[in-house]
Amino acid sequence: VYSETHSPTTNDLGLFSLEVGNGTPGTGTFAAIDWSAGPYFLEVGMDPAGGSSYTSVGAQQLLSVPYALHAKTAEMADDGDWVLSGDTVHSNGRRVGIGTTTPSQDLDVEGTFQLKDGTQADKKILTSDAEGNASWQELGAESLFGAGNLPPAYGNDISCLSTAGSLSLASSPRSVAVSGNYAYVVDFFSDDLKVIDISDPAAPVLAGSVGIGPLPFSVAVSGNYAYVVDINSDDLKVVNISIPGNPVISGSLGVGGSPVSVAISGNYAYVVDTDSKDLKVIDISNPASPTQSGGLGIGFFPSSVAVSGNYAYVVDLNSEDLKVIDITNPAAPALAGSLGLGANPRSVAVSGSYAYVVDDVSEDLKVIDISDPASPTLSGSLGIGPLPFAVAVSGTHAYVVDQLWDDLEVIDISNPAAPTLASSLSIGTEPIAVAVSGNYAYIVDTGTDDLRVIELFCPAEQQQVIYDPATGSFGSAPQIWQTSGDSVYVADQRVGIGTTAPSAQLDVRDASASELRLSLSSTHWSKLRFSSTEGLRIEAKNEGVEFRPMLLIGSEVKFYSGLGSTPERMRLASNGFLGIGTNSPANRLDVEGGLAVGASYSGTNPAPTNGVIIEGNVGIGTSSPANRLDVEGGMAVGASYSGSSPAPANGAIVQGSVGIGTTAPEYTLHISNGANTGSGSFGRGLKITDVTPRIYFEESDAAVNEKLMFLEKIEDGISFSSVIDNATLFRNQHILFVKGSGSVGVGTKAPTAKLSVNGTANNSTGSWGVFSDARIKTVQREFTDGLSVIDRMRPVVFTYNADAPFQAVGEQVGIIAQELEELAPYMVSTTEHGDIHDLREVNNQAYVFLLINAVKELKAENDRLKTDNVVQQEQLEANTRALEELKALVGAYAGR
């Protein structure tokens, strides 16, 4: 019939207790059990390992169930019409009568009744919201005429944006929610929920508070309950706020390691947790005993959740995206879609078909189209500041608080593709959360430790309410004339004088001449007159002296100024020519006399006779000059060039010298320190910007193929090459190459040492030297290699192939570095070139010392041989003497 699971923890004695009906449902619904259809049995299964492989430990009959028992002799027995579930008793299709035994409605009260829900007060009426929830409300215009029948109280005039009031909270407020006349603030350090009366926005006051836990982090409000998540006690607390002055905790539920955001929709709370990395769906239909219905793993660091309709919207700081989660089945929420957002999405709000996300790394507000939950798309965005932290949406505006700029930014989102900043207001030192209700924003600030109430828009103009007796409906009367202080005005309407059908906002009409006059007296006036004879005349008169600043006759405009007989000063002819000082212009602009252009020139500097002085920029062939002189096309300067030699397209040819930063150029191009043509940090000079910038040097009297050489910036260095006359083929490329690292190549653009030479390097009278001073050396050991290494070296004749760092022609004599590395590894090092990451190089300096040691070895051997030779010579001489003596003896014996 019904099953549920529990995960209990024993006490010190190894005991635990469970309440049947408050576990995690498995099959069936506890509230739907028909206890009258018993008997029922309770079977208990356990898995000591903490898993879900349950083993039955026994079953027994339930002798007492949540169903009214009665004695057999009772006069009246419960017929099962009423069902008890927890602290709720209900019946479907039955009636309740109070003061009557025959109720005619579901609830029939005959007599008086009293409703106390915390909203009761003198001269209030009982009304309901769209869901039928009753409450006491002020007797106001909307309660009399109905919602939607009155003009809006506030327009879109944001000029009234200002701080209306504030309340010091003296701790560290973290989150705010607003419902009715109260704001609800959770505080990090005072560890409580504060209920603040905001019925007077200019003077908010603390109504009540309740201790929550060590680190309350986020709050949401629905009906008579506030819902708070705490990142230290790791739970969701349900707080009864029906009496604002005395809020009390109704229930709680452990939800994970670090819940950071909560949203409410219907009978469910939605909590995101950065430790368990999931979204939890909490059933709050019984505020005293919230239970988890389902959950969904969503990412490493979810930071904010909002709910609208059948979907929850979560932004994640780690996966850097917005996830859209289908919550149609609260027990099994599922990922519907997602959209990558950027580096650090911090907060999300939802309104209609759009989600609004602030990101404190990309520093913007993103507007996301969620009309297709499976495929959200970015509609628009707006850069808003260095550290936007929270966002709220109301109507056609989004409200963002920025912790670095310390302000509230009001953003017009009426066009989701192009949100714009409507206004901003400095509000504190570290605003952290914002909520909007009516015409006010409520902001908590952890720097100033207060709640600030911000007035948003200016009140709308007063209007009349009309009643239609035919339909019985109310509406706003058309308000043609508006009043504002001592002013009366009309917008988007027409006024006719002399006509009942005005064709303009102000239409003054007469058959022969119409005149509009503004006057101070009968002798001090100005007038606008239109007649069939003159056309339009603008005229002014002061104490009998008339002057005519402008007179239009036919298709020409004439300007007059002066006293008495006012002469004509300027004429715009019918052909579009303008004459100043002449009434017969023959050109687009004809000026009789000098012309000065510019604020510093006009009115102060006389121009040359019939000449021009210009302070600003002049364009020839362009309508938007950005310099003193902008020429679109070629330009030739010099008597021999102008009018005879065509300049290159959009280029210039100059016959003489050109000076940059100097008024006295000494060369064809002379750059002096009078102007900074380089970047500010490197001083003045010549800068050439191109894909491969080059500077060419041409010798005019050299042989055809010896004229040109150039410097070019390629890859990470500067190359010096020679080319043939037409500058299209290289004669010798990379004669000298200097890398940005400081390495120099001769005959190669890939030096692998401070100096790499591709070819032969000669020095005649000098020599290569190295520092060898004893004061700069620390001897590590004696170098003893010599003849034995040289004897095993294998010199070869070779040519370099295509993988070599440079091009070399002809056969070379040398050794193979890998073979030398086996004999003398200290002579071989590696570098990187192209695809070869361990290109071997040989330290030829070691050859000298190998040869020195080899010579020493040979000398020692020679000295030894010399010594042996002396000994052998002495022995030979001794043997010779002995032989001579022997021969003498033999001769003596023979003579006898």
Sign of CA dihedral 18, 21, 26, 28: positive
Q: Which residue's entry shows tokens 């938007």?
A: 624
Confidence band of 550 (pLDDT split at 50, 70, 90): low
What span, in angstroms and rounded, lies between the C-alpha atoms of 554 and 570?
16
Strands 796-798 and 812-814: antiparallel
Residues 719-753 pLDDT 10s: 887 776 555 566 677 778 888 888 888 878 878 77
| C-alpha 646 chain-centroid distance | 51
What span, in angstroms and rounded, lies between the C-alpha atoms of 103 and 596?
98
Confidence band of 675 (pLDDT split at 50, 70, 90): very low
What span, in angstroms and rounded, lies between the C-alpha atoms of 359 and 553?
63
Q: Which residue's entry shows tokens 């499976």?
A: 374
Q: What is the length of the chain? A: 896
More confident residue, 379 or 487: 379
Sign of CA dihedral 163, 169, 172, 174: negative
Q: What angle do CA 705, 709, 714 make, to 5 degrees?
A: 130
Contact 878, 886 (CB under 8 A): no
Residues 384-423 pLDDT 10s: 988 899 999 999 999 999 988 889 999 999 999 999 999 9
Contact 392, 368 (CB under 8 A): no
Mean pLDDT for the chain overall: 83
At 859 the three-state DSSP class reads helix
Tokens of 447: 């720097």
Contact 136, 115 (CB under 8 A): yes
Residue 770 CB contacts under 8 Å (≥ 6 apart), including other chains: 845
Tokens of 328: 């149609």
Confidence band of 267 (pLDDT split at 50, 70, 90): very high
Residues 605-653 pLDDT 10s: 887 777 777 777 877 778 888 877 777 877 777 667 766 777 788 777 7
The string of DSSP letters for 211-231 reads E--S-EEEEEEETTEEEEEET
This prediction has a pTM of 0.45
Strands 465-468 and 473-476: antiparallel
What span, in angstroms and rounded, lies between the C-alpha atoms of 488 and 482?
6
Confidence band of 295 (pLDDT split at 50, 70, 90): very high
At 543 the three-state DSSP class reads coil
The strand ranges marked E within 506-577 are 506-508, 513-521, 524-531, 535-542, 545-553, 556-560, 568-572
What span, in angstroms and rounded, lies between the C-alpha atoms of 725 and 706?
7
Contact 206, 195 (CB under 8 A): yes
Among 678, 698, 680, CA closest to 688:
678
What local confidence, expressed as pLDDT, does residue 68 receive? 52
Number of H helices, E strands in the chain: 4, 70
Residue 89 is given by DSSP the state E
What span, in angstroms and rounded, lies between the C-alpha atoms of 367 and 348?
10
At 345 the three-state DSSP class reads strand
What local confidence, expressed as pLDDT, does residue 822 receive? 92
Whether 173 has a pLDDT exceeding 90, the answer reads yes
